[in-house]
A and B are shown apart, each in its own frame.
Chain A
Amino acid sequence: MEIDDLIGAPSAGSRPEPTVADHADVVARVRERSATLDRAARARDLVESAVALLMLPTFTWLAVQVPSPVSKAGAALIAAACVLIPVRFRAARGRPIDPALPVVVALAAERARLEAQAALLRSIAWWYLGPLLCGVALFLLGAPLSPMADVVGALVIVSVGVVLHRANVAAVHRDVDPQVAHITKLMEGIDEP
């Protein structure tokens, strides 16, 4: 017996072939699930846009209105971050990889996407935490608060920054790096006949 004999052999536990009605039912369920996903994506985009729409004018207005130049700089930095962060997030999401690409091409594209995602998460200190937390720190520093409040505020900001940075680096190490390694292993020797 060879592998070809197994391929053609009937399976003991095989299910009956689905009917046209079964297919129509499957299509209806798939359509509904797709619509649910679309609604969730629209809700996420709406929340992101709403946060940006709320924060950007608020901090732009504060950058003009507050008397302290240090607070002005902080508010301006936060306003800039409100634009920069969603732009980087959307760039990171990018265009989804076409799932109908040939398998080997799709693997290479997926690896490139994962590597870009890992680079983005590892550099979160520069484009996300840095501008936002520095902005908040400057804003508080220029505000008429006690020196003790400034120290406590600075400590909280630095702690939040360190925790978020470490969480992102750990996420790359845990979730993204193994996937890149797996694709690399899969593609090793792919050119050999």
Chain B
Amino acid sequence: MTLLPPPPGEGHDADRARMLERILASHSRAIRRIASAYAGATDEAEDLQQEILLRIWRSIPSFRGEAALGTWAFRVALNTALTWRRRARAAPGERATTVEPATQGVPRDASAILAEFMATLSALDRSLLLLYAEGLSASEAADVVGLSPNAVAVRLSRIKRRFTRDHLEP
């Protein structure tokens, strides 16, 4: 992850567009995964993805380069997803918020098993697993969520143990 030059001003639309394109080039898959993990249903995930990109776009003028671009984008994406999920829970019926469990008897691919497991985690643990899946170290993930690296490592270890217990042990 690289540090960017000083932030563009509010009016520098072209600079803002270039920065968003850089974020998309590096992190569009991660943003899609985050949206799917928190919104579940395909249409909702698409809406959440748009919302995340909108938040990133509107926050770019306040980017100071104090955190790495990836860390910054992950924070915006996760905070937007958590807000989305919270509002959906407050207004049940307006949006689907749960990941559909896989149909019994139908072979499931890796992402379906992972999505199903993520749906059972708390929102914060889900964030940590998503960051881990994107290849962030415990230290980088700690920077995104605001916990200590030790706390992140311990939580990830628990998540992995739980996955093994729930899915793999007879």
A positions within 8 Å CB-CB of B: 1-3, 5-7, 9-14, 17-18, 20, 23-24, 26-27, 29-31, 33-34, 37, 98-107, 110, 174-176, 178-179, 182-183, 186, 190-193
Distance of A134 Cα from B57 Cα, bound (Å): 45
Residues of A within 8 A of B132 (CB): 7
Look across to chain A and name the residue whose beta carbon is closest to the beta carbon of B23. Answer: A23
**B79 close to A103 (CB less than 8 A):** yes
Bound together, the chains give a CA A105 to CA B142 distance in angstroms of 12
The chain B residue with its CB closest to the CB of A97 is B79
Contact with A along B74-103 (1 / 0, CB 8 A): 011011101100110111000000000000
Looking at chain A's contact residues, the main secondary structure is helix
Interface size on B, residues (CB 8 A): 60
Which residue from chain A places its CB closest to the CB of B72 in the assembled complex?
A100
Would you call A3 and B164 a contact (CB within 8 A)?
Answer: yes
B residues within 8 Å of A by Cβ?
13, 16-17, 20-21, 24-25, 28-29, 50, 53-55, 57-59, 62-63, 67, 72, 75-76, 78-80, 82-83, 86-87, 89-91, 109-114, 117, 122-124, 127, 132-133, 143-148, 150-151, 154-155, 159-160, 163-164, 168
For residue B160, which residues in chain A have a CB less than 8 angstroms away from its CB?
2-3
Task: Indicate whether A98 sits within 8 Å of B110 (C-beta atoms), given known contacts A23-B21, A34-B54.
Answer: no
